[in-house]
Chains A and B, each alone.
Chain A
Amino acid sequence: MDQLSIVLNEDKAAFAPRETIRGTVRWSLDVGVRHLELSLFWYTAGKGTRDMGVVETVRFDEPGAIGWKDFSFALPDGPYSFSGKLISLLWAIELTCSPGSETVRREITLSPTGREILLGTHR
């Protein structure tokens, strides 16, 4: 069975703007794939039309059936991770293989406080 994984250094999942994310991707695939792609992106979830923005993508060509690679992404200034009742903005790192439908996603938080901003709350 195909297996993909994303491990973040020190298992850290919350980051400040401009901080660098470091980690390792691992794969164990039944058949060789042409390439793996690792993307850092944000996306919205909730009631309205969905939106997303890809910040950076790295591609590992001819990765072989089993292997691992270290990676790093420099986070931008924003947008911050936030949640309201109508919309949430989430950040994630996703590893996909091609050809194939196997995907693994690791959600992260981008915020100066290290926690997602909650809209409509007074703190």
Chain B
Amino acid sequence: MKAKDNPFAVERIEAIRYRLFNTTFDRLLARLHELNYRAAITGPEGSGKTTLLEDLQEALEHKGIRTHLVFVNDASHFDSPACRRLLAELTRDRILLLDGADLIRRSDWSLLKRHTITHTYGLVITSHRRGLLPTLIECSTSPALLKDIVAELLPQGRTIPTEFLDRLYERHHGNLRTCLRELYDLYTQEP
């Protein structure tokens, strides 16, 4: 199968937005307001933290709250000079949305956490671990969520056996990103 036809191609996966469970965006925004716009989206790898942060950005901007979204990942290597450059860019009218806060060095995180109290409208981070900031929401996955997403990505009339998806979910310890990558590889074998 050609990459562009693969139902699990990155662009198709990225088009799927975060599915809130037992809450709504309005409630999430109200909770964020209560937390004075300083909060963390936590959860394990592949649980949708980045997707939710992007969706939160859209919801905040829609309400007229300006944001500044920064991704910290292995590729971007957020070192101390990069941290200081970011601090210099911050403005009081924007919320800093920081994806991957737990990848920042401890000393840089302390500086950033302190600096953003007075130099930004707020700070919302994603993190694998709890405790960096009050938790806004804890992301999680389930086999049912994987099945739901897979059903949305597959062309009409195509299915993947439930048992296969259950085993896939278990093998990847609930990491939906790596589950979907494996499904991509599986589909490359299709004619």
User: Measuring CB to CB, which residues of chain A are less than 8 angstroms from any residue of chain B?
Assistant: 45-50, 83-88, 90, 118
Contact = CB atoms under 8 A, between A and B. Distances in A.
A116 B107 CA distance: 51
Given A50-B11, A85-B188, A45 B1 contact: no
B3 A83 contact: yes
Interface string B158-182: 0000000000000000000000010
B191 to A, nearest CB: 11
A118 B4 CA distance: 12
Interface in B6-62: 6, 9-11
B184 interface: yes
B2 A84 contact: yes
Q: Give the residue among B1, B2, B6, B181 with the most A Cβ atoms within 10 A.
A: B2
Which A-B residue pairs are the 10 nearest by beta carbons? A46-B3, A88-B4, A83-B2, A85-B188, A88-B3, A45-B4, A87-B3, A45-B9, A47-B184, A46-B9
Given A47-B181, A47-B184, A83 B4 contact: yes
B2 A85 contact: yes
A46 B188 CA distance: 10
Interface residues of B, number: 12
Contacts of B2: 83-85, 88, 118
Interface of B: 1-4, 6, 9-11, 181, 184-185, 188
Contacts of A46: 3-4, 6, 9-10
Nearest to A46: B3
Given A47-B181, A47-B184, 6 more contacts: A83-B3, A85-B2, A85-B3, A86-B188, A87-B3, A88-B3
